[in-house]
Amino acid sequence: MNAKPRVLLTNDIHPLLLPVLAAHCEVILAPDALPATIARLVVDVDGLIVRAQLAPDVFDHATRLRAVVRHGVGLDMIPVTAATARRIPVANLPGSNTAAVVEYCVAAMLHFRRGLAGMDARLRSDGWAAARQMADSGTELGRSVCGIVGVGAVGAQLAGVTAGLGMRVMGVTRRPDSLPAHVEAVSRQALFSQADIVVLCCPLNEQTRGMVDAATVAMMKPGAILINVSRGPVIDTAAVVDALRQGRLSGAAMDVHDRQPLTGQEAVFDCPNLLLTPHVAGITATSLLGMSQGAVDTMLALLRGERPANVVNPEVFQ
């Protein structure tokens, strides 16, 4: 009897999908996601499901590896070029967490515009009248300008939601002709100078790394809000922190960070009007189930020798 293929998980997947994978494969769950641990365990596995950053040389000694699946969308965790050089197919799951990220963005907008958490705290500490006064400074999203940098799957869906809330929507994208009709194509300078809320949904690459620097932050409208659900290095964190401390921005939400995980010692922990979350914009019970289903289905297909459409380096099959 042929032995089951071995599949390494850098992190847990949804508990309902683990037995599905285990019915067809020997599953190895890494005790931690440290590069040295993954490098040691990947040596003798056939498949790898990725939810953590991989080292650039992770595939150097993975002689058996024949399938890598990203449990999510972003590919910056995986050295795809190195995998392609070794003819290892890499797949991701486009659209698997789009709704979750869009909802996060809207929640962050409302967090700053309506201040419900602060109102709840004031009601509990200072009473009805004090809390009720806070509503006078809340502002609605309608008639505001939402600027979206990177109008891909997330950006396009966010544009539809915000337009439906009565916002004017601007977009910066490499393909302006692909923008939905309700999104106005503008330059980066126009977007940052005119938007009341700027949402970063772009991929991290050489063009976007450090894009939101001190000069760009200085362009933003007084009292604007910045939301980053792309990747940490897209922004100059120090510049954003400085703008928040000076009151030039009314708020910022950072789900992604220059270095992850945060240790608690970074300047962002001593900054006003800054919403910090631990890279969870795309994670809900709903999206986790969907991503795990997609990851397992794709992994099993690859191990069967099939060629799923979501493989990002299909040239390895040639």
> At residue 142, what are phi and psi to the nearest 5 degrees?
-55, 140
Q: What would the two tokens of residue 187 be?
A: 């330059």
pLDDT per residue over 163-176, tens digit each?
999 999 999 998 89
Residue pair 232/257 in contact by the 8 Å Cβ criterion: yes
* Predicted local distance difference test score (pLDDT) of residue 70: 98
pLDDT band at 220 (very low <50, low <70, confident <90, very high): very high
Residue pair 69/264 in contact by the 8 Å Cβ criterion: no
- AA identity, residue 131: A
Residue pair 220/192 in contact by the 8 Å Cβ criterion: yes
* Predicted local distance difference test score (pLDDT) of residue 210: 96
Q: Find how far residue 178's CA is from the centre of its chain.
A: 22
* Predicted local distance difference test score (pLDDT) of residue 266: 97
Residue pair 185/210 in contact by the 8 Å Cβ criterion: no
For CATH 3.40.50.720, list the domain ranges present in the chain: 6-96+285-317, 98-276
CATH number of 6-96+285-317: 3.40.50.720
CB atoms within 10 A of CB 257: 20
Q: What would the two tokens of residue 206 be?
A: 């050489």
CB atoms within 10 A of CB 144: 19
* Predicted local distance difference test score (pLDDT) of residue 119: 97
pLDDT per residue over 78-117, tens digit each?
999 999 999 999 999 999 999 999 999 999 999 999 999 9
Angstrom distances, CA of residue 186 to CA of 147, 174, 191, 260: 9, 11, 6, 32
Q: What percentage of the chain carries pLDDT values higher than 70?
A: 99
pLDDT per residue over 226-257, tens digit each?
999 999 999 999 999 999 999 999 999 999 99
Alpha carbon distance 173, 188 (integer Å): 9
* Predicted local distance difference test score (pLDDT) of residue 2: 66
Alpha carbon distance 281, 21 (integer Å): 26
Fold of 98-276: Rossmann fold (3.40.50)
Q: Is the pLDDT of residue 316 over 60?
A: yes
Using DSSP, state whether 185 is helix, strand or coil: strand
Alpha helices in the chain (DSSP H): 18-22, 35-41, 80-85, 98-114, 116-126, 128-134, 153-164, 188-194, 214-219, 237-245, 285-303
pLDDT per residue over 133-186, tens digit each?
999 999 999 999 999 999 999 999 999 999 999 999 999 998 898 899 999 999
Across 287-315, average pLDDT: 98
Residue pair 140/167 in contact by the 8 Å Cβ criterion: no
The owner of tokens 């792309």 is: 230
Q: Find how far residue 86's CA is from the centre of its chain.
A: 28
Q: What would the two tokens of residue 135 be?
A: 């509503």
How does strand 6-9 pair with strand 26-29?
Answer: parallel
* Predicted local distance difference test score (pLDDT) of residue 86: 97
pLDDT band at 61 (very low <50, low <70, confident <90, very high): confident
Residue pair 71/12 in contact by the 8 Å Cβ criterion: no
Residue pair 89/302 in contact by the 8 Å Cβ criterion: yes
Angstrom distances, CA of residue 175 to CA of 33, 145, 151, 169: 36, 21, 9, 16
Residue pair 8/58 in contact by the 8 Å Cβ criterion: no
Q: What percentage of the chain carries pLDDT values higher than 90?
A: 96
Strand order in the sheet with 26-29: 26-29, 6-9, 47-50, 67-70, 90-91
